[in-house]
Amino acid sequence: MEQYQFEVCANSVESCLAAQAGGANRVELCAGIPEGGTTPSYGDIVIAREALTKTLLHVIIRPRGGDFLYSPIEQRIMLKDIDNARRLGADGVVFGCLTAKGDVDLSLMRQLIEVSQGMSVTFHRAFDVCRNPQEALEQIIELGCNRILTSGAQATAEQGIPLLKKLQQQADGRIILLAGCGVNENNIAHIATETGIREFHFSARETIESKMLHRNGTVSMGGTVNIEEYRRPITTAERVKRTIKSLTGPIKN
């Protein structure tokens, strides 16, 4: 297991604890999962930091869903959120910024990285919608980021295997590639074998039923968006273990 690193995309402190129990090396704590992940609350970060004793805590810095072209106000928010994550003891932060033309926003990235001193920095899946992945890889290396979370510019990492393999060869040990999106116990070994990548990002979630006895199925908190109010996805320790085991063998307690 030493040659691999496993990161769980955690949508709650409860999921963080399950990731730790399942043997994950770190979590990426996110809110707003249906939007692709947004910055978690102050309370989430504080309690996750208290709860995680064996697993590293990385925090996504993303003020909203949608694209990765940020306004001056949003940039100020991101700078404050990074400072907040550092003060609260996060081990790393996760962000990515693009220009209107689809290139890495070097100026903004430098500002965010400067505030991130002392923490690991992951450039997230904004990478997958950039104009030129090979050029972006070189720029992100030059910026000094520790890793890139990527699906190989495809809907899932398994579909992105061809580009992931090329990027891994291009990186040549200068930066870590973290394969993510759709990674699970059924395909992680295949992705590892085909690409040579050694770090993996997955959610290992299962849907649990609400304990509410009284229910009103005619009301949706998402308005016209169809959200299941009485079911929710959560990471489970058993599924984390299964995913890791499918690549490394049995987990030693």
| Token duo for residue 242 | 């299964």
Lowest mean pLDDT, pick from 43-47, 65-69, 174-178, 212-216 = 212-216
The residue ranges of every structural domain in the chain are: 5-248
Taking alpha carbons only, the member of 150, 163, 90 closest to residue 124 is: 150
Query: Among the residues of 33-146, which ranges form H helices?
Result: 42-51, 72-87, 106-115, 133-143
**pLDDT for the residue 253:** 45
CA–centroid distance for 195 within its chain:
19
Give me the chain's average pLDDT, please: 94
**Other Cβ atoms closer than 10 A to 91:** 18
Confidence of residue 218 (pLDDT cuts 50, 70, 90): confident
**pLDDT for the residue 15:** 98
**pLDDT for the residue 225:** 63
pLDDT surpassing 90 at residue 227:
no
Helices 72-87 and 106-115: angle between axes, nearest 10 degrees: 30
CA atoms within 13 A on the CB side of 238: 1
Taking alpha carbons only, the member of 158, 107, 100, 109 closest to residue 129 is: 100
Residue 187 phi/psi, 5° resolution?
-130, -5
pLDDT surpassing 50 at residue 221:
yes
pLDDT surpassing 70 at residue 8:
yes
**pLDDT for the residue 223:** 61
pLDDT surpassing 70 at residue 17:
yes
Q: What is the mean pLDDT of residues 179-188?
A: 97
| Token duo for residue 123 | 């450039």
For domain 5-248, give the CATH number. Answer: 3.20.20.380
Share of the chain above pLDDT 90, in %: 85
Taking alpha carbons only, the member of 58, 47, 74, 50 closest to residue 24 is: 58
**pLDDT for the residue 54:** 96
Radius of gyration of the chain measured on its C-alpha atoms? 18
The pLDDT tens digits of the residues spanning 112-171 come to 999 999 999 999 999 999 999 999 999 999 999 999 999 999 999 999 999 999 999 999
Q: What is the mean pLDDT of residues 12-38?
A: 96
Confidence of residue 249 (pLDDT cuts 50, 70, 90): confident
Residue 151, C-beta contacts closer than 8 angstroms, at least 6 positions apart: 125, 128, 157, 159, 160, 164, 179, 180, 181, 182
Confidence of residue 188 (pLDDT cuts 50, 70, 90): very high
Q: What is the mean pLDDT of residues 3-27?
A: 97
What is the SS3 string spanning 6-33?
EEEEECCHHHHHHHHHHCCCEEEECECH
